[in-house]
Chains A and B, each alone.
Chain A
Amino acid sequence: MAASTDKKAQRSKTKNGNFLARQNYHGILFCLPFVIVFLIFNVYPVFRTLQMSFMNYKGFGKETFIWFDNYKRAFGDKLFWGAFLNTLKIWGVNIVLQLGLALLLTIIFNDMKYRMKGLGIFRALFYLPNLIACTSVAFLFKTLMDWQYGTMNQILMGAGIISSPVNWLNGEGLTAQMVVGVVGAWMWFGNSFIMLMAGVQGIDHSFFEAATIDGAGRWQIFGKITMPLLRPIMLYVAVTSLIGGLQLFDLPYLMSGTKGTPGRSLFTAVFYFYDMAFNKNQMGYAAALAFVLFLIIAVFCALAFKLMNRKED
């Protein structure tokens, strides 16, 4: 005991000098509030959820361990996997539009020949939809796209594009999923754009100048310089979007009027999880669903990283 404290004192003496060592316990004090709150409100709840996932727990009353029964049920639950598929469809529409638009804007604003102006103001305008509460956005679009009274149908019918009102959110098939995907892209493309721009600004400008002098065309520069150097940022944007997209909940939940629409096409995985936990009172099963979803997200992320790393070799 005495020997180890001796050693420690000696080590800190050699590292920081005796003078600094005396101050270092302040570091512990400064981190203490964070650590305490972090343990209580971040770490403990995750382990508690893990424990719940092995139990038959209804949110009240007795908790009995049933071990892997919840997980077995999750893997055979057709409704859950259907909801997961819905999530993927909505995310697919969303990410193609969102990243495509962000990339297009990045190309436009980095063009050596055109030198577009007004980046600051456009960037701010494009970011605007990110700022508004999801509840407000959902409500706004739900009302704008209302079948009977919505402004969207009024405009389209007024312009003669459609002859009868389209039932955007309660209709058949893919329509509602596409609407939510598009609204999501509208909300988040500004964010992706800003991140991609930041990535481009991190690229050494002389690359572009040298390439232009050597007579490289716009698409050559984009394909050979911008894209490869942007890859880490693209990966970051895609992975964060995937993590967020697989957890999509607020937007479909609120745009479908908390019901998931008659055809359940807006019933996402987290929506199902939420419904299990708080409407059907199957907390234990819902906890297991959360961990299954987490595993899927982890696998997707690992795959994405592997894919990107292989290309870089």
Chain B
Amino acid sequence: MSEKIKTRISKSLLYFFLIVLAVLCFTPFWLMLVNSTRSGNEIMTAFSMLPGGSLARNWEVVSENMNLGRGFLNSLFLAVCNTVLVSYFSALTAYGLAFYKFPGSRVIFTVMLVFMMIPSQLSLLGFYNLVNQLGLIDTYWPLILPSIASPATVFFLRQYILSVMPRAILEAPRIDGAGELTIFHKIALPIMAPGIATMAIGAFIGSWNNYLIPMMLINTPAKRPLPVMVAELSAVRDITTNLGATYLVVAVSALPIMIAFCFFSKYIISGISAGSVKE
């Protein structure tokens, strides 16, 4: 009996700890949402967990200073393009590497693995220099095109397709005379869909949150995606003096990801686990 009570008490304590931790993870976001509805004065003078009534005013201050809607659309455009390119071309490459034998396929695979381990700033200066020479500074091309080659995604999808798709599946349509690309579109792509979905969500979030490269390459304010706008808040005085408006900008940039997470958290988490175990 006493053993049972002891277990129950320590179990309750553990749940309490987990809940505190969960609250700690969530509180900053809650404060962000709450503070975006309070006026700058309220935020500076007192702390509160309850929403205020200044949302409309904060929105006015934001829209007087920056085109947040435009930033939102820019981010969305970039994220959608990147997600589509990453998904399609990574799947195509993974399929090509997994189901065809051709000279050089091993070389491609090895070089890919090596480059997965190279830290990004090794290529940063060369990349900037290349974009500059191509005259593509301040355009979206260098932010979109490179996602055709995403080694980590290809690696994951190659492992994935090898484990879910038997080679024999390809024989029947080949005998029926279907083209190779048709086979890829009609058979391989649907089978790979769950794996692709996992990677696609990751790609979307990664692109949505990408900061460094757009900050380096995009000069025109109207072309900037949200993270760059958020980072440049400190340069806009009127908003900084009104803290509520500042929080509103941060909230607008974070909200879509939070909503997406509510629906796709299973895919996202399975993606992380898969990446760590299958190696």
Q: Which of B139-186 contact A (CB under 8 A)?
A: 142, 145-146, 148-149, 151, 154, 174, 180-181, 184
Q: Which of B14, B145, B265 contacts A124 (CB 8 A)?
A: B265
**Measured CA separation A30–B255 after assembly (Å):** 37
Does chain A have a CB within 8 A of B135?
Answer: no
In the complex, which of the residues A24, A101, A140, A236 has the most CB atoms of chain B within 10 Å of its own CB atom? A140
Q: Which of A41, A59, A151 contacts B145 (CB 8 A)?
A: A41
**Measured CA separation A27–B98 after assembly (Å):** 9
Which secondary structure dominates chain A's binding surface? Answer: helix
Q: Report the contact-size class of chain A (Cβ under 8 Å from the partner).
A: 35 or more
Contact present for B105 and A294 (CB under 8 Å):
no
* Chain B residue nearest to A152 in the complex (CB): B47
List, in ascending order, chain B residues with CB within 8 A of A46's CB: 115, 118, 122-123, 126
Task: Decide yes or no: A134 and B211 within 8 Å by CB, A194-B273, A290-B122 being known contacts.
Answer: yes
List, in ascending order, chain A residues with CB within 8 A of B25's CB: 125-126, 128-129, 186, 190
**Measured CA separation A60–B180 after assembly (Å):** 47
Contact present for A128 and B258 (CB under 8 Å):
yes
Contact present for B14 and A114 (CB under 8 Å):
yes
Of B53-61, B62-70, B191-199, B225-233, the one touching chain A = B225-233
Q: Total contacts A to B, CB within 8 angstroms?
A: 269
Does chain B have a CB within 8 A of A116?
Answer: yes
* Chain A residue nearest to B154 in the complex (CB): A34
**Measured CA separation A202–B254 after assembly (Å):** 34
Does chain B have a CB within 8 A of A191?
Answer: yes
Task: Decide yes or no: A136 and B253 within 8 Å by CB, A116-B14, A123-B269 being known contacts.
Answer: yes
Does chain B have a CB within 8 A of A311?
Answer: no
Contact present for B277 and A132 (CB under 8 Å):
no
**Measured CA separation A172–B154 after assembly (Å):** 46
Q: Report the contact-size class of chain B (Cβ under 8 Å from the partner).
A: 35 or more
Q: Which of B181, B253, B272 contacts A194 (CB 8 A)?
A: B272
Does chain B have a CB within 8 A of A15?
Answer: yes
Does chain B have a CB within 8 A of A48?
Answer: yes
Give a binary string over A128-147; 1 marks a CB under 8 Å from any B CB, 0 the rest: 11011111111111011000
List, in ascending order, chain A residues with CB within 8 A of B82's CB: none
Contact present for B31 and A293 (CB under 8 Å):
no
List, in ascending order, chain B residues with CB within 8 A of A223's CB: none
Q: Which of A48, A133, A134, A144 contacts B28 (CB 8 A)?
A: A144
Q: Which of B1-34 contact A (CB under 8 A)?
A: 7, 10-11, 14-15, 17-18, 21-22, 24-26, 28-29, 31-32
List, in ascending order, chain A residues with CB within 8 A of B35's CB: 151
Does chain A have a CB within 8 A of B220?
Answer: no
Q: Which of A1-24 contact B (CB under 8 A)?
A: 12, 15-16, 19, 23-24
Q: Which of A274-291 contact B (CB under 8 A)?
A: 274, 277-278, 283, 286-287, 290-291
Expressed in whole angstroms, the minimum distance between the Cβ of A188 and any Cβ of chain B is 11
Q: Which of A28-57 contact B (CB under 8 A)?
A: 28-31, 33-35, 37-38, 40-49, 52
Contact present for B28 and A30 (CB under 8 Å):
no
Does chain B have a CB within 8 A of A67?
Answer: no
Does chain B have a CB within 8 A of A297?
Answer: yes
Task: Decide yes or no: A126 and B22 within 8 Å by CB, A31-B105, A42-B146, A198-B273 being known contacts.
Answer: yes
Does chain B have a CB within 8 A of A72?
Answer: no
Contact present for B14 and A45 (CB under 8 Å):
no
Contact present for B105 and A49 (CB under 8 Å):
no
* Chain B residue nearest to A194 in the complex (CB): B272
Task: Decide yes or no: A191 and B272 within 8 Å by CB, A116-B11, A135-B230, A141-B28 being known contacts.
Answer: yes
Q: Which of B205, B233, B277 contacts A131 (CB 8 A)?
A: B205
List, in ascending order, chain A residues with CB within 8 A of B46's CB: 154
List, in ascending order, chain B residues with CB within 8 A of A118's CB: 18
List, in ascending order, chain B residues with CB within 8 A of A291's CB: 122
List, in ascending order, chain A residues with CB within 8 A of B115's CB: 38, 42-43, 46
List, in ascending order, chain A residues with CB within 8 A of B250's CB: 136, 139-140
Expressed in whole angstroms, the minimum distance between the Cβ of A103 and any Cβ of chain B is 14
Expressed in whole angstroms, the minimum distance between the Cβ of B7 and any Cβ of chain A is 7
Extra A-B contacts (5), CB below 8 Å, given A34-B149, A141-B28, A293-B121: A24-B101, A41-B142, A42-B146, A133-B230, A186-B24
Residues of A within 8 A of B (CB): 12, 15-16, 19, 23-31, 33-35, 37-38, 40-49, 52, 59, 101, 105, 108, 113-114, 116, 118, 122-129, 131-141, 143-144, 148-149, 151, 154-155, 158, 186, 190-191, 194-195, 197-199, 201-202, 233, 236-237, 243, 246-247, 249-250, 254, 257-258, 270, 273-274, 277-278, 283, 286-287, 290-291, 293-294, 297
Pairs A–B under 8 Å by Cβ, sample size 13:
A24-B100, A26-B181, A27-B100, A27-B105, A28-B96, A41-B142, A42-B149, A45-B123, A126-B22, A129-B25, A139-B246, A195-B272, A294-B118
